[in-house]
Amino acid sequence: MRNDIFIYVYDVIFILLFMSVVCNCAVVYNLSKKKLFLLLKWLFISFIFESTFETGYEFVTRSIIAVSSRKIILNYWYLLVEFTITFGENIITIFCLNELTNMNKKLPVIPIANILALTSLILEVIFLTTLNPADWYIAGKSTNQICQFIILLLFCLPRKKLPQNQQIFYICSFIALGLSLIEIGAFSKWQRLIDVKFPFYENHVNLIEDGYYFILAIVILFITKHEHEEYTHRQVENLVQQRLSEYTVQKYENKDLSFQKAEVHEFCDHYGLTKREVDVLLLVLQGESNQAIADKLYITVGTVKAHVHNILNKMEVSRRSQLINKFLNYH
């Protein structure tokens, strides 16, 4: 009875954690419209469905099923649904990795990965029809882990250099999958001993994999929190810049433009700005966007961003609103 309670609490903790991730990803996607968060939302919805399905299965098998033949049939259908859910998770994971690594569209990585995931599902179904019931889960789980390992290789090997955060992600994923395969192998070899010493382990042979997804969920919660704060910060920044720009227009609407430019040049000389930076600053003070500045000065948006960055550094400020405010308070 104590082991049953432990298993149910174990599953409920994961379900609640995954629900938090789904809610956060949904909010951030609605704000930022970044496809990665939409995919992560559906990935963790599939995790919730899988965890709920497993919990229901454990409840049914422990509370109702008493005849061994009926239990074998139930296990068969349970694993068939389980492998199908895992296939769906693999497909969503493939598109998440594609968004994360921004793969070259000329490389047929996604079709190859999808074929690999489908092959894994077919092999798992074959195992259900050819192997003994005791070997169904071990064989199917091992096949899926190997499939995930190869999929990760497909996405990281073509990239000559990965950002540091992606390097950490792939290294941790490879380590987790490797340890998970070792765990499955150890369980299959010493299953009777483990069943005696750790009865709860029977339905949780993938504790290392669960630990990996637990850590991944926590990391995604922090990322979504950061994204939400960044969005709020940008909204406040844009609002402040808009108000300051309106104030700037009102301040100079009755003045001669040459006088305004004279003030700007005096301000720029004080901070040692170059001629091009002065041109950019004039347009920034008028509330123009980077694209509008680039169009008017016949330069690229990247060049505009570089000039704005240099201007902010020279003014010892970090935002455009602070820059405009500094100019307004200069005179």
Domain boundaries, the chain: 2-230, 255-328
d(CA 100, CA 37): 10
d(CA 10, CA 124): 26
Residue 22 confidence (pLDDT): 94
d(CA 176, CA 169): 11
Question: What is the arithmetic mean of pLDDT over 305-325?
Answer: 82
Position 288, amino acid: E
Res 124 pLDDT > 70: yes
d(CA 48, CA 19): 7
pLDDT range class, residue 246, cuts 50, 70, 90 = low
C-alpha distances in angstroms, 302 versus 55, 60, 299, 315? 52, 60, 8, 20
Contact at 8 Å (CB) between 256 and 243? no
Answer whether 2-230 and 255-328 agree in fold. no
CATH topology of domain 255-328: Arc Repressor Mutant, subunit A (1.10.10)
CATH topology of domain 2-230: Rhopdopsin 7-helix transmembrane proteins (1.20.1070)
Q: What share of the chain is helix, strand, coil (3-state, %, to 5)?
A: 85, 0, 15
Res 19 pLDDT > 90: yes
Res 146 pLDDT > 90: no
C-alpha distances in angstroms, 309 versus 275, 297, 304, 326? 15, 17, 8, 16
Residue 143 confidence (pLDDT): 85
Select from 189, 108, 177, 176 the least CA-distant residue to 147.
Answer: 177
Per-residue DSSP letters for 83-145?
A: HHHHHHHHHHHHHHHHHHHT--TTS-HHHHHHHHHHHHHHHHHHHHHHS-HHHHHHHHHHHHH
